[in-house]
Structure 1
Amino acid sequence: MANIVITGSTKGIGFGLAKAFLDSGHKVVISGRSEETVRDALDRLQTPACKCCGLACDTSEHTQVEALWQFAQDTFGSVDIWINNAGLARTGWSILDIPQAEIEAMVRTNIVGTINGCRVAAAGMKQQGHGKIFNMLGGGSDGEYFPGMGIYGSSKRSLDYLTNALSSELKGTGILVGKIRPGMVVTEAVIREAKQNPDRFAQSRRFMNNLVDQVDTVAVYLARKMLEFNKTGEKIRWLTGGKIAARMLKGLVRKREDQFARHGL
């Protein structure tokens, strides 16, 4: 049974991961920016058999991340897996047009927040002598370009380097460091952006429908792979190149069930 901390886990893929781990009998600490969102998520996760608790945490504040680690350690005694999942996706603008406030929010959450999580978790795990740290990557992290994602993709690209560097620095310590590429998942952020820009969504809907997946489907796979993970520096990828090619070919002959309709889109 593993003790797991997931940042940014009151919704989206983070919430899905928490549910997947709990359903497998593990213990989970969730976190989000506000006490209200944490309480709401706990209400949705709690069952008589599950062992889950939570703490509000703004990962861009180092002291709050330290408090999250201490909370998990005090509650469960140790932390076996720490997942830096908290992130912001503000897409749809060119690099020149994106509002400055959106740039700063993504940099603080996606980059500074993940750095804080890595530093705090690595320091704690060095003391306990073991542990796994995972960083959630995303579109752009492999260097690929997507229109309207220049800043977001740059923030995720930096996390690829960060994860490689941390993995190298922690070799021989008993701490494993990994990367997570969840693929295209229908999250609250995707739904929000689709409703904000329905014309753009309509243009890409058919193409995206061949590639997107539901949170629960992806989260169960990723949770299992993280538990099995045993080689530092490696990447756990849901949507592989082979899977993309197969889906696109299949889409030419048979229309896939609409993955967005169930979300009111």
Structure 2
Amino acid sequence: MPQKLSDAVVVLTGASSGIGRAAARMFADRGATVVLAARRTEALEEVATECRNAGANALVVQTDVRDEDQVRHLCRTATEQFGRIDVWVNNAGVALFGRFEEVPRDVYDNVIKTNLFGYIHGARAVLPVFREQGHGVLINNASMVAYVGQPYTSAYVASKHAIRGLGESLRMELMDARDIHVSTVLPATIDTPLFHHAANYTGRAAKGMEPIYPAELCAATIVQMAERPMREAFVGNSGRMLAKFHAVAPGLTERLMSRMVDRNHLRDTPAPPSAGNILDPMPEWTGVSGNWRHEPSDARARGIGIGLLGVGAVALAYAGWRIARPAPPEPRWKRAVPVHFRPARHRHAWF
């Protein structure tokens, strides 16, 4: 049933900036009580003030989602303070740029701990609460790279693939609880401080990869999922189209994605090695936007993107023709040979 947000209790991790901060404001505008979690207490207090100014109750709980005890404390604090939790948004995330074999092991591991185990800790804490009260919505903010990978961000991509798989498994396990829902958000590149906070060992400065969508668009999708849960939702047409292209022509999509990241996600300006905010939080960039939408466009990257769309359209048309065309008649020799004696049919990858 649709969730009335005017009297809902919503817990958000990663609420100190970006999508989490935008979602907190939107939930507050709808009258929800918000419980705000992140590592940066000062930034959380700023968000809480904004939510209270909108007329909502707001509670700040400093939380490092890598620590399961802290996440359980967050869940316990919310239930003790407000009696229940109606919506839990797993949103805390970090990013790492660098070749797989060249990035420090501890930095790589902590991307997985934050992005994946942070979500696991949230789900393990709140699902028993949902079971006991008989309802609840768990929203996992993943990424379009849960469908389509990209180079130099293997830890981030692996964690997002796993988050999508986690959501599928939890939905299956919760089929006996019709009022408990698990939804996965799949944003394309969003204008947030994520890339300012990212660890980087490529030697080149990182930037948001075009096309870039406003954080409020993703936040609005999260709020919509809280009201009317759905399995998955892409944010931004580029992610939806890339997923379709990858399903039809995976090899070609991988080659073009590799070029897009090299030319559109990394600048030609040098950057020193940095662990970003992965091991410890950074005081800078606490706002919703990372100002990436105001960056000058790269004509080469834009050309590759247009090429990807064009090739994808051709690939989809070809796939449709293959599906729609009538099957050829079975050769006579096959009709005479028992099925278990027929040679195996091998499919060749065209792309």
**Normalising by the residue count of structure 2, what TM-score does the alignment of the two structures yield?**
0.62
Supply the RMSD in Å over aligned alpha carbons: 2.8
**Structure 2 CA distance for aligned equivalents of residues 139 and 158 of structure 1:** 12
Of 232, 235, 242, the residue aligned with 2:232 is 235
State the 1:141 CA deviation. Answer: 0.9
Structure 2 residue 292 is matched with structure 1 residue 260:
yes
Please name the residue that 1:250 is paired with: none
Structure 2, gaps ≥5 residues long: 1-5, 243-290, 298-351
**Structure 1 CA distance for aligned equivalents of residues 292 and 126 of structure 2:** 36
| Structure showing greater Rg | 2
Contact (CA 8 Å) 2:95, 2:198: kept in 1 or not?
A: no
**Structure 2 CA distance for aligned equivalents of residues 61 and 23 of structure 1:** 31
Contact (CA 8 Å) 1:222, 1:236: kept in 2 or not?
A: no
Of 127, 131, 141, the residue aligned with 1:126 is 131
Please name the residue that 1:78 is paired with: 84
CA distance change for structure 1 residues 195 and 115 in 2, over 3 Å: closer, same or farther? Answer: closer
CA distance change for structure 1 residues 83 and 61 in 2, over 3 Å: closer, same or farther? Answer: same
CA distance change for structure 1 residues 217 and 196 in 2, over 3 Å: closer, same or farther? Answer: farther
Structure 2 residue 41 is matched with structure 1 residue 9:
no
Please name the residue that 1:253 is paired with: none
Contact (CA 8 Å) 1:191, 1:263: kept in 2 or not?
A: no
| Matches for 1:141-156 after TM superposition, within 5 Å | 141-142=146-147, 144-156=148-160
**Structure 1 CA distance for aligned equivalents of residues 16 and 108 of structure 2:** 23
SS at match of 1:78: coil
Of 64, 70, 75, the residue aligned with 1:69 is 75
What amino acid sits opposite 1:217 in the alignment? L
**Structure 2 CA distance for aligned equivalents of residues 148 and 124 of structure 1:** 38
Contact (CA 8 Å) 2:72, 2:125: kept in 1 or not?
A: yes
**Structure 2 CA distance for aligned equivalents of residues 20 and 198 of structure 1:** 38
Please name the residue that 2:93 is paired with: 87
CA distance change for structure 1 residues 263 and 6 in 2, over 3 Å: closer, same or farther? Answer: farther
Structure 2 residue 96 is matched with structure 1 residue 99:
no
State the 1:101 CA deviation. Answer: 2.1
What amino acid sits opposite 2:233 in the alignment? I
CA distance change for structure 1 residues 55 and 155 in 2, over 3 Å: closer, same or farther? Answer: same
State the 1:113 CA deviation. Answer: 1.1
SS at match of 1:29: strand
What amino acid sits opposite 2:69 in the alignment? T
| Matches for 1:27-46 after TM superposition, within 5 Å | 27-46=33-52
**Structure 2 CA distance for aligned equivalents of residues 38 and 264 of structure 1:** 31
Contact (CA 8 Å) 1:182, 1:222: kept in 2 or not?
A: no
Please name the residue that 2:25 is paired with: 19
Structure 2 residue 173 is matched with structure 1 residue 169:
yes
**Structure 2 CA distance for aligned equivalents of residues 179 and 261 of structure 1:** 25
What amino acid sits opposite 1:108 in the alignment? K
**Structure 2 CA distance for aligned equivalents of residues 55 and 263 of structure 1:** 34
Structure 2 residue 64 is matched with structure 1 residue 58:
yes
What amino acid sits opposite 1:222 in the alignment? I
State the 1:3 CA deviation. Answer: 1.3
CA distance change for structure 1 residues 198 and 186 in 2, over 3 Å: closer, same or farther? Answer: farther
Please name the residue that 1:214 is paired with: 214
**Structure 2 CA distance for aligned equivalents of residues 214 and 63 of structure 1:** 33
The alignment-based identity, stated in percent, is 24
Where do 4+ consecutive residues of structure 1 move more than 4 Å? 192-202, 241-245, 261-265
State the 1:262 CA deviation. Answer: 4.8
State the 1:176 CA deviation. Answer: 0.7
Contact (CA 8 Å) 1:139, 1:146: kept in 2 or not?
A: no
State the 1:112 CA deviation. Answer: 1.2
The farther-off stretch of 119-128 and 235-244 is 235-244
Structure 2 residue 228 is matched with structure 1 residue 223:
no
**Structure 2 CA distance for aligned equivalents of residues 243 and 166 of structure 1:** 23
CA distance change for structure 1 residues 242 and 15 in 2, over 3 Å: closer, same or farther? Answer: closer
Please name the residue that 2:263 is paired with: none
Contact (CA 8 Å) 2:19, 2:192: kept in 1 or not?
A: yes
SS at match of 1:140: helix
Deviations 1:158-193 (A, max 9, x none): 111111111111112231111011221111122455
Please name the residue that 1:189 is paired with: 194
Contact (CA 8 Å) 1:194, 1:201: kept in 2 or not?
A: no
The farther-off stretch of 47-56 and 102-111 is 47-56
**Normalising by the residue count of structure 1, what TM-score does the alignment of the two structures yield?**
0.81
Count of aligned residue pairs for this structure pair: 242
SS at match of 2:184: strand
